Structure 1
Amino acid sequence: MRLFYAVLLWLLAVLPAAHASDDKIFTIGQWEGFRFSEDGAFSHCAAMTLPNGRDALVLAIGRGGELAISIASDRWKLKEGTTLMATLSVDGQSLADQLWANDKRSMLIRYENGDQAMNAYQVLSRGRVLSVRTPAGSATFGLADASPVLGALVQCAEQAVAAEQPDGHAGATSASRAVRVDRAELMAYVVNLLSEAGMTGHTFLAPSEFQEALPDYDVVWRNADGTLGAATMFTSAARSDLDLASSNTVAMDAARCPGDFVSGVRKSEQTDTAFIKEVFTRCGADGATEEAYYVMFVTNEGILLATATIALDAGDAEDVEKTGAAIGRGIEESF
């Protein structure tokens, strides 16, 4: 029990100056999840497992989409505040070759870059065994429940940020400072966007037709090829909101997928006027395949647009990337 309280204290330092809420927010298998705040504002959600009572693994998702991993053991005597040469791997796939000695008993790595966090998230979600080896000691953890735990952490972060919004709606970005654009204004933009992309034959859906299935989007339409399109837009956004949007979108799709999940980045680049990301996800379960292609874009002026092209029918899957990429080109031309 001594280690349990030591690790709980360590958890508070995963992201600086954080304080735990009074109650646990979830229990999944051997994992316990907590929500943390800093100066009254949400900071991060973290989950901890102590499979043998001596070694602890902690996963954390921050409000900006960053992912942190830490391992603690009461067997270790680390030099606090130093960088450790280490091997952190999942099923033999390396996640890091250096970790930070957070204190004498724990080591930490933080993925603050959106693409790096997304990659680590996917590796952990699909993995079976996480191992860390350093000159100071080693530890191994099973990851049987890591996928639902990570999904629960993402939901925790989404809900915490949403609770801080005036309308209680986090949206596709969960951006704390970004301001959601009115649906009528967004509709006018989407009409022009589809025209720029050379797309015709689409039909817009009424909010009552999509709000339950796609609650994070404000405008949804059906394309001529049978795929669904969706969009939401914010002003006063930052580059970090784009990283948060992409990592959270993939994380939520992974959490919802009951079968085999695959995702990847098709484009991640900076132009003179904007940052652009295009990512895809694919879920295969019970003989059915659901695919999605996301285009996310934030301008230097702080306009953030997130679009999704979704195929719920395997017969439409081959059209998703083609249609999604066309929308991406239309977005670039519109700005």
Structure 2
Amino acid sequence: MVRLVVSSLALLTALTSCANAARIREFNVGNWSVTAYSNDKTGKFQSCVSLAPYRSGYNVLFSISNDFRWSLGLSRNNWHLPLMSNHRFAYKIDDGPVRFGIGEAISDKLVLAELPDDVGLFNEIRRGYVLYIKSLDSDEFMKFNLTNTSSMLAELLNCAKNPLGAPTAARPTPHPPTASRAPVGPSAETRLEAVTFATNVLSLAGITGFVFLQPDAIPPELKAHDAVWAIKGEGIGSVRVMAADRETTPEAIKAGLFAADSSRCKGRFASGIAPAESNASAFNLFTVCETDEGYATNYVVLKRPAGGHYVLSTVGKTADQVNSSGAAIQRAAVQTVSSR
């Protein structure tokens, strides 16, 4: 415990020393230590920072600045990061959507990433149980229990609003630091595009007997998908239309899929890249979750003519089953896109 406290103090020193920061006040919210900082040259309030150490060796940090921008920070004592280097990552809360970010090393031990001005994300973290983070630059995968974050974020926001005041009784807050637009999800246009695309691909792949599910019949974990179909006795499939403004690079999509499936699996997890087809515009990967009721998922990711990507998934009992269907779907999808 002493070592964790020392690590936390070292982290706060690294965070603030380069920014001419002086401490205004400090208090605790559960396992989180919260500190308000001012610029020691101007005396003006700078930011409020909350920090919690984890027994895994990581420290998690949230901060809200004087202009109400908020950030997520991670540190670890055995990191030796180049100063100001960029670090890409995928993250999600519980079974929520996978998001992507880029952090900057403000010391050799600490990466800080500004979070989007997003009401949904703020409330997900406030109400969530587990934060999952997957580095897109390495194999590093992190899992953090979000203990006391509801009270902590309420007090952190109150601290940014009133840095000289005393902590208030913990209370829920419906707002992130500022207003924002809601996260992007399926629209009527993308649903229509997905159903049309999937119909052409499945028919061309020789897959019959598929039935598209109505939005209210789609399982909760697939609500973000634009079209979902079922094949009696075979399994379930889906397609997501990831327009240019909805997602990022193929590498980030690949990492996000692996991270999301790994976090959902309650048994032994495995993943891999399926044998590549000749067309370089698409790739095929799979995940396997070994439990009493195990399942496997095959993904086909390919470029969308209008920008962005399509992601087609097939879920079944075994990797051999879904990879066989996935190979046929990949060939058909590439042919469908090429014919447009």
| Smaller-chain TM-score bracket | 0.5 to 0.7
Given candidates 166, 169, 173, the residue that maps to 2:184 is 169
Corresponding residue of 2:11: 4
Say if 1:28 and 1:4 are closer, same or farther in 2 by CA, change over 3 A: closer
Structure 2 matches for 1:178-193, cutoff 5 A? 181-193=189-201
Question: Does the CA contact (< 8 Å) of 2:88 and 2:103 recur in 1?
Answer: yes
Corresponding residue of 1:175: none
Matched, 1:281 2:287: yes
1:241 Cα offset (Å): 3.2
Corresponding residue of 1:202: 210
1:202 Cα offset (Å): 1.1
> Quick one: distance in 1 between partners of 2:136 and 2:294?
21
1:118 Cα offset (Å): 5.7
Identity score, percent: 18
* Deviations, residues 307-331 of structure 1 (Å, cap 9, x unaligned): 11112xx4x5531111122111111
Give 1:233's aligned amino acid: V
Matched, 1:214 2:222: yes
1:169 Cα offset (Å): 3.4
* Deviations, residues 24-69 of structure 1 (Å, cap 9, x unaligned): 598754544346899x99998543345xxxx568997268857889
* Deviations, residues 185-218 of structure 1 (Å, cap 9, x unaligned): 3212211121111111112112222241312212
Structure 2 matches for 1:104-123, cutoff 5 A? 106=109, 120-121=138-139
Corresponding residue of 1:61: 89
Corresponding residue of 1:332: 334
Question: Does the CA contact (< 8 Å) of 2:90 and 2:255 recur in 1?
Answer: no
Corresponding residue of 2:315: 310
> Quick one: distance in 2 between partners of 1:182 and 1:302?
13
> Quick one: distance in 1 between partners of 2:63 and 2:278?
33
Corresponding residue of 1:33: 60
Give 1:4's aligned amino acid: L
> Quick one: distance in 1 between partners of 2:208 and 2:314?
15
Give 1:61's aligned amino acid: F
1:230 Cα offset (Å): 0.6
* Deviations, residues 119-167 of structure 1 (Å, cap 9, x unaligned): 833xx44xxxxxxxxxxxxxxxxxxxx4x2499xxxxxxxxxxx99854
Say if 1:117 and 1:280 are closer, same or farther in 2 by CA, change over 3 A: farther
Say if 1:249 and 1:243 are closer, same or farther in 2 by CA, change over 3 A: same
> Quick one: distance in 2 between partners of 1:309 and 1:25?
41
Given candidates 286, 295, 299, the residue that maps to 2:300 is 295
Secondary structure of 1:330's aligned partner: helix
> Quick one: distance in 1 between partners of 2:208 and 2:327?
15
* Deviations, residues 77-130 of structure 1 (Å, cap 9, x unaligned): xxxxxxxxxxxxxxxxxxxxxxxxx76x5599xxxxxxx966833xx44xxxxx
Give 1:329's aligned amino acid: R
Question: Does the CA contact (< 8 Å) of 2:286 and 2:296 recur in 1?
Answer: yes
Corresponding residue of 1:232: 240
Secondary structure of 1:213's aligned partner: helix
1:7 Cα offset (Å): 3.9
Give the TM-score, by structure 1 length. 0.55
Say if 1:168 and 1:22 are closer, same or farther in 2 by CA, change over 3 A: farther
Give the TM-score, by structure 2 length. 0.54
> Quick one: distance in 1 between partners of 2:299 and 2:191?
19
Say if 1:21 and 1:201 are closer, same or farther in 2 by CA, change over 3 A: farther
> Quick one: distance in 1 between partners of 2:327 and 2:68?
37
Say if 1:69 and 1:202 are closer, same or farther in 2 by CA, change over 3 A: same
Secondary structure of 2:266's aligned partner: coil
- Extract unaligned runs of 5+ from structure 1: 13-19, 71-101, 109-115, 126-145, 152-162, 172-178
Say if 1:202 and 1:35 are closer, same or farther in 2 by CA, change over 3 A: farther
Corresponding residue of 1:253: 261
- Extract unaligned runs of 5+ from structure 2: 1-5, 20-45, 82-86, 92-98, 112-133, 147-177
Say if 1:60 and 1:26 are closer, same or farther in 2 by CA, change over 3 A: farther
How many residue pairs end up in the alignment? Answer: 238
Give 1:330's aligned amino acid: A
> Quick one: distance in 2 between partners of 1:303 and 1:60?
19
Give 2:250's aligned amino acid: L
1:252 Cα offset (Å): 0.9
Say if 1:298 and 1:238 are closer, same or farther in 2 by CA, change over 3 A: farther
Give 1:227's aligned amino acid: G
Say if 1:234 and 1:68 are closer, same or farther in 2 by CA, change over 3 A: closer
Given candidates 51, 74, 88, the residue that maps to 1:47 is 74
* Deviations, residues 4-28 of structure 1 (Å, cap 9, x unaligned): 224435999xxxxxxx985659875
Say if 1:206 and 1:25 are closer, same or farther in 2 by CA, change over 3 A: farther
Corresponding residue of 2:322: 320
Secondary structure of 2:221's aligned partner: coil
Secondary structure of 2:312's aligned partner: strand
